[in-house]
Structure 1
Amino acid sequence: MKVMTIFGTRPEGIKMAPVVQALQLDESLESVCVNTGQHKEMLDQVLDLFELVPDYNLEIMKAGQTVEELTARVLAELSPIISREQPDLVLVHGDTTTTFIGAYAAFLQQIPVGHVEAGLRTNNIHSPFPEEMNRQMVGRLATYHFAATKKNKMNLILENVEACRITITGNTVIDALLQITEKPHDFPENLKQIFQNGKRTILMTTHRRENLEELQHVYRAVNRLVRENEDVQFVFPVHKNPIIRQKVLKEIEDTENVHVIEPLDYQDFVHVMKESHIVITDSGGIQEEAPGLGKPVLVARNTTERPEGVEAGTLKLVGTSEGKIYKECQELLSDEAAYQKMAAISNPFGTGDAAEQILNFIKEEFKVKAPSGVRV
């Protein structure tokens, strides 16, 4: 049996790495790995970290490329590869342009699609944009749905997906997270100095397209928090989007307690998250990862497709309001009981065996037998 995995962004690479590793280690399966290159440098770092070498690297990233141009290029490049390889199953992850077009390209050739991290929904097609619509369309194209949680499964059932097509696996990002945190790690000198000063660190990331017009409010909350808490510092790896960088230059006050740095490779980022006290983010994956390390997360969005975290208490939605972000963060900084209440909650997004569960499902569904002479 031949299984093709398709990904192209850093978050996809991180979350698909454990799946690709599991496929490659299983001698009863043939693995074909395709990297569209929707992200370039950031994804290359992930591939090196997990020691993955794609069979195909399309390198479709292009400066100033519109979503429409990206969509057309991914479809044009992927279709002949799928036609040549004729996999029995195509696996895609999440909600990117690569995800949607990978599923669509497979569908056009009548090859079944498995959707890893299926069933996330805000049910607002403009938030996150365009990810929410991407994931909904993949939900219609996929034959098999690997959902992280029961709520994700219920979302799919409400969209008339048959329950027998849905498998709850937990999220593969926890597999990746645990794999990386178990490795010894030494920070580069700039990060080492930051974490040796004894201050409580707040890790912040911002990149959501729908938040671009509101980011100044988030950054003003940062200024306010460091002015009023001398023992608090921010570490802020800034996204490469030039609009975000312009807003950071304009709004973030020049202070020794706000460390504006370049994007981190995944290994450094995971260990920064591990050393941090609180996380403020509009990212999706970090909402799953940080609770796995016992870190309270303030989500700088008005909606989240991960309500399990909000319900469990590991996440708080704070939007992009300066006042709301300041208030909720200040409470965690000043009220130890409130902090511990969030930090101690077990992660609702899995225990680190998602890739194994996906592999087992595939082998059972397709009745894959071990090659002669190989024990199972």
Structure 2
Amino acid sequence: MKVVSIVGARPQLVKLAPIAAAFAGGDSRHVIVHTGQHYDADLSDVFFTGLGIPDPDVHLGVGSGSHGEQTGRILAALDPVLATERPDWVLVYGDTNSTLAGTLSAVKQHLPVAHLEAGLRSFNRRMPEEHNRVLTDHAADLLLAPTAEAMRHLAAEGLAARSTLVGDVMVDVCLRVRDAVLAGEHARPALPEGIDPDQPYLLATLHRAENTDDPARLAALVEALVDLPVPVALLAHPRLLARAEEQGLKLARGALHVGRPLPYAGMVAAVLGSVGVVTDSGGLQKEAYLLGRPCTTLRTETEWVETLADDWNRLVPDPGSLGADWVTTATRPAPDAPQGTPYGDGKAAVRVVETLRERRA
């Protein structure tokens, strides 16, 4: 069996790590195509080295651009690659422009497509990721769902026959790295200057277009972080830095300490060292849940609805509207309630490879 994995952004590289490991021990040929959608070394290269992922077999180097430009460049560059490889499966991950372009290139060439992390829905049609998810699910031949909720979404859209529950591969890598961090196998993360890892701090990320492109909204969110009584380690995505500079917005002030994105093990260690997380990232919401830290999500919705149970995650789209309650929300302690295992048992990647083999045409 030959499988081509198409990845291009940080979250996809994390998901790729357990999949590549699951392929490594068998007789299948696994070809990795990196589109270069995330071209910053902090969002790409460190994940290959830090998670032990084999180097990409093909690197398209598309770089940044508008959604249309980026998707079009990926699609044009992928067509000849897939025409040459003619794999049994094209495996696409998540909800990025690389996901959609990989799907379109494959289906136009009559190549079977499997979508890892299928069935997630925010029901927010303003999110580019939501369109990528829906279009990919309806075009793909095999839908690899991470949760029972995702399976319900797929069934509601008439896609049950193409769907299978495999669990969430992010659990595989998160728990493995967590155990290595707790065993002292990784150095302390490089937190922003001014953050004492031995004192309470919050970990924050902010990068979604709906939060960063509107100057008034971005300024309000930054002010909410600046005014917190606990130091905030802001791991600044390139999009955030670019928008803040364009808007003349100073980030590093008050409680806010600005640093670079971390390699995955560093991110896990930083979450474990924190007293809580504030983010608009889908992946970090789930990582906070898996690592037992309360999360405050700066959005109106979440794809990972399981994290909302027992107040492990709380949606706060407008911190300013909470007044003094914003501080108590962002700094609330971890719940006492025990967690279930809605995302699986940490063996999803093995099930993915088994399913691909079983469903091969």
8 A Cα contact 1:143 1:165, kept in partner: yes
* Structural mapping, 1:128-167, within 5 Å: 129-161=127-159, 163-167=160-164
Q: Provide the C-alpha distance between the structure 2 equivalents of 1:37 and 1:253, rounded to a whole number of angstroms.
A: 29
Q: Provide the C-alpha distance between the structure 1 equivalents of 2:5 and 2:95, rounded to a whole number of angstroms.
A: 14
Structure 2 CA distance for partners of 1:152 and 1:328, relative to 1, 3 Å: farther
8 A Cα contact 1:313 1:345, kept in partner: no
**1:224-272 deviations in Å (ceiling 9; x for gaps):** 222xxxxx211111111244433897354624x4321122222211110
Structure 2 CA distance for partners of 1:262 and 1:192, relative to 1, 3 Å: closer
8 A Cα contact 1:292 1:346, kept in partner: no
Moved more, 135-144 or 181-190: 181-190
In structure 2, the residue matched to 1:366 is 360
Q: Provide the C-alpha distance between the structure 1 equivalents of 2:55 and 2:326, rounded to a whole number of angstroms.
A: 43
Q: Provide the C-alpha distance between the structure 2 equivalents of 1:46 and 1:234, rounded to a whole number of angstroms.
A: 24
Gap runs ≥5 in structure 1: 227-231, 368-376
Q: Provide the C-alpha distance between the structure 2 equivalents of 1:247 and 1:323, rounded to a whole number of angstroms.
A: 26
* Structural mapping, 1:253-268, within 5 Å: 254-255=253-254, 257-268=255-266
Greater C-alpha Rg? 1
| Correspondence for 2:174 among 173, 177, 191 | 177
Q: Provide the C-alpha distance between the structure 2 equivalents of 1:325 and 1:359, rounded to a whole number of angstroms.
A: 49
* Structural mapping, 1:299-310, within 5 Å: 299-310=297-308
In structure 2, the residue matched to 1:8 is 8
8 A Cα contact 1:235 1:261, kept in partner: yes
Q: Provide the C-alpha distance between the structure 2 equivalents of 1:325 and 1:355, rounded to a whole number of angstroms.
A: 44
Which secondary structure state, in structure 2, belongs to the residue aligned with residue 203 of structure 1? Answer: strand
In structure 1, the residue matched to 2:272 is 274
1:341 paired with 2:336, answer yes
In structure 2, the residue matched to 1:21 is 21
Gap runs ≥5 in structure 2: none
Structure 1 residue 195, shift from structure 2 partner: 3.7
* Structural mapping, 1:223-242, within 5 Å: 223-226=226-229, 232-241=230-239, 242=241
8 A Cα contact 2:296 2:330, kept in partner: no
Aligned length: 350
Structure 1 residue 316, shift from structure 2 partner: 0.8
| Correspondence for 1:353 among 347, 350, 358 | 347
**1:16-38 deviations in Å (ceiling 9; x for gaps):** 221122113212x1111111111
- CA RMSD between the two structures: 2.3
In structure 1, the residue matched to 2:221 is 218
Structure 1 residue 7, shift from structure 2 partner: 0.6
8 A Cα contact 1:318 1:325, kept in partner: no
Structure 2 CA distance for partners of 1:159 and 1:188, relative to 1, 3 Å: closer
Amino acid at match of 1:354: A
Please, what TM-score do these two structures have when normalized by structure 1? Answer: 0.86
Which secondary structure state, in structure 1, belongs to the residue aligned with residue 49 of structure 2? Answer: helix
Which secondary structure state, in structure 2, belongs to the residue aligned with residue 99 of structure 1? Answer: helix
**1:87-130 deviations in Å (ceiling 9; x for gaps):** 0111001110000010111101111111000001122221xx21
**Aligned residues with identical type, % of pairs:** 32
Q: Provide the C-alpha distance between the structure 1 equivalents of 2:124 and 2:162, rounded to a whole number of angstroms.
A: 24
Q: Provide the C-alpha distance between the structure 1 equivalents of 2:168 and 2:105, rounded to a whole number of angstroms.
A: 25
**1:192-244 deviations in Å (ceiling 9; x for gaps):** 98344x42111110001011221222222222222xxxxx2111111112444
In structure 2, the residue matched to 1:33 is 32
Q: Provide the C-alpha distance between the structure 2 equivalents of 1:318 and 1:191, rounded to a whole number of angstroms.
A: 25
Which secondary structure state, in structure 2, belongs to the residue aligned with residue 361 of structure 1? Answer: helix
